[in-house]
């Protein structure tokens, strides 16, 4: 976990106490003492072998063992820290930067290990520019207020950047109505095609009210779709499998909320404005 800068004072105090405690011990006897064995940090678990392999490659290297501190040198360092305690906080800031960079690298490795499921699963709707050079994946729940707000932001992105390919992942996490809506949308895609799904996707996100069978039937009728056929498809094993695969993918990526975006090798959690997405896309092309 990346530690927030607001905790720096507490961390600095702890580090200072620990550092000075060690140096006091080393300055009081012989040629110093050996550094303690490093503690192994548990890595996040994942369901897929590919994800586990990626995490294993990024497993932190253990620091050197058997390091000793000369007593005279320890005393000098102790005196310096007492004279310049701000050095402790500079060390904390450097640690936070390195920790953030390591977390970002690990996140990119996990995304890379799941790239096929993210970008080419064969069942998710693809919009924007299907041949675009930047792919944006969005995990959506139709009852999520922030997903509803994000719709206009994504539309603005697509209008501003003709090179973005959009993929929607149905990820119902807010109860039965959410799953009901996702099953309807997936069934429309399977039976009615891309244009029908696009219309349903917009209709569901702009609805704002309860997602009832009556509402879905009216939406289907508006689009000239056979609601009875869609209702049968909603209970099919194929639709159940798609939702299960999306949930398994989200679990591997440690996604627990909506909206969540993945743009190439960058993960963006939560609602963001179009300007942010536009800037990230531009940065990825550099």
What is the C-alpha separation between 242 and 220, in angstroms, rounded? 21
CATH class of segment(s) 122-285: alpha beta
- pLDDT at res. 40: 37
- pLDDT at res. 75: 85
CB under 8 A, 24+ apart: contacts of 186-191: 186/123, 186/234, 186/239, 186/242, 186/243, 187/230, 187/231, 187/233, 187/234, 187/236, 187/239, 188/220, 188/223, 188/225, 188/230, 189/125, 190/233, 190/238, 190/239, 191/225, 191/226, 191/229, 191/230, 191/233
CA distances from 95 to 8, 58, 64, 103, 156 (A): 11, 17, 17, 12, 38
- pLDDT at res. 103: 60
In percent, the amount of the chain with pLDDT more than 70 equals 73
Phi, then psi, of 137 in degrees rounded to 5: -105, 135
∠ CA 251-128-113 to the nearest 5 degrees? 30
- Judge whether residue 196 has pLDDT over 80: yes
- pLDDT at res. 99: 66
Domain boundaries, the chain: 5-113, 122-285
From 44, 257, 248, select the one nearest 138 (Cα to Cα). 257
- pLDDT at res. 79: 86
Cα 223 to its chain centre, rounded Å, is: 35
Residue 73 token pair: 């040198």
Q: Which residues sit opposite 125 in a β-bridge?
A: 168
Q: Which residue has the higher pLDDT, 24 or 262?
A: 262
Q: Residue 236 in contact with residue 212, Cβ under 8 Å?
A: no
Q: What is the pLDDT of residues 177-189, one digit of tens each?
A: 999 999 999 999 9
Q: What is the pLDDT of residues 97-130, one digit of tens each?
A: 776 666 666 668 899 999 999 999 999 999 999 9
- Judge whether residue 36 has pLDDT over 50: no
Q: How confident is the model at residue 233 (pLDDT cuts 50, 70, 90)?
A: very high
Residue 228: CB atoms within 10 Å: 10
- pLDDT at res. 23: 43
What is the C-alpha separation between 113 and 11, in angstroms, rounded? 34
Q: What is the pLDDT of residues 51-104, one digit of tens each?
A: 565 555 555 444 445 556 678 888 888 888 888 888 788 888 777 777 666 666
- Judge whether residue 151 has pLDDT over 50: yes
- Kindly state the average pLDDT of the residues 143-169: 97
Q: Which residue has the higher pLDDT, 38 or 267?
A: 267
């Amino acid at each position: 976990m990346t530690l927030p800068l607001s905790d720096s004072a507490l961390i600095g105090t702890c580090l200072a106490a620990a550092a000075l405690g060690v140096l006091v011990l080393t300055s009081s006897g012989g040629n110093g003492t050996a550094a303690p064995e490093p503690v192994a940090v548990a890595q996040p678990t994942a369901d897929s072998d590919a994800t586990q392999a990626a995490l294993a490659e990024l497993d932190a290297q253990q620091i050197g063992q058997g390091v000793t501190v000369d007593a005279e040198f320890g005393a000098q360092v102790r005196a310096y820290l007492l004279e310049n305690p701000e050095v402790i906080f500079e060390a904390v800031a450097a640690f936070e930067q390195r920790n953030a960079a390591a977390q970002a690298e690990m996140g990119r490795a996990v995304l890379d290990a799941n790239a096929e499921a993210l970008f080419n699963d064969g069942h998710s709707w693809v919009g924007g520019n299907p041949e675009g050079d930047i792919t944006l994946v969005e995990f959506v729940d139709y009852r999520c207020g922030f997903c509803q707000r994000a719709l206009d932001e994504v539309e603005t992105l697509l209008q501003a950047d003709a090179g973005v390919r959009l993929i929607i992942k149905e990820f119902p996490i807010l109860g039965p109505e959410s799953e009901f809506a996702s099953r309807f949308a997936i069934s429309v895609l399977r039976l009615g095609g891309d244009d029908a799904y696009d219309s349903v996707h917009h209709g569901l996100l702009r609805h704002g009210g309860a997602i009832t069978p009556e509402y879905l039937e009216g939406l289907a009728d508006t689009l000239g779709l056979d609601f009875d056929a869609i209702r049968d498809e909603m209970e099919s094993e194929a639709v159940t499998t798609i939702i299960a695969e999306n949930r398994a993918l989200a679990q591997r990526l440690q996604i627990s909320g909506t909206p969540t975006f993945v743009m190439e090798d960058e993960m963006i959690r939560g609602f963001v404005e179009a300007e942010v997405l536009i800037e990230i896309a531009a940065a990825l092309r550099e």
